[in-house]
Structure 1
C-alpha cells in the first residue's frame, strides 16, 4: 500500500526558498570576505571571485574552509 502525504505549496516553497537563501548568504559571505581581505593581492582576489562565480556552492565552501586564512 502506498503512503500518501498531503503536501501543500507553502511547504514546497519553504523547502526550496530556505536552502536558496542560505546558499545565497554563503556565497555573499565568501565574496564579502574576499573583497575585505587585505592580505590577498588583486590577482588572487580575482581568481577566487572567478572560482566562486563558476562553482558557487563548492567554491565558497572551499574558500571559507581553506583559503580564508591563507596568505597568498
Structure 2
C-alpha cells in the first residue's frame, strides 16, 4: 500500500500468512518522479527510476506475520 502527497511517500509492506515460505518480492512503487531522488527515514537516498522499476527492498522481521512502514521524502 502506498500514499503519495507532494514530495512525501509512505509505503506499508507486509507479509501475509500464505507467504511464509516464499521470499519477499518488493512491489514497484508508483507516482514518483523517475528523475528525482528520495531519502528514507534512515538517511539512505534512492533513485526514483529504481523505485519505479525495481521497488524498495525492505527487511521484514522474523518468519511469521510482519509489517514495516517506510517514509520517503523527495530530496
Rg larger for = 1
Whichever structure has more strand as a proportion of its residues is 2
Whichever structure has more helix as a proportion of its residues is 1
TM-score by length of 2: 0.27
User: Which of structures 1 and 2 has the larger relative contact order (alpha carbons within 8 angstroms, sep 6+)?
Assistant: 2
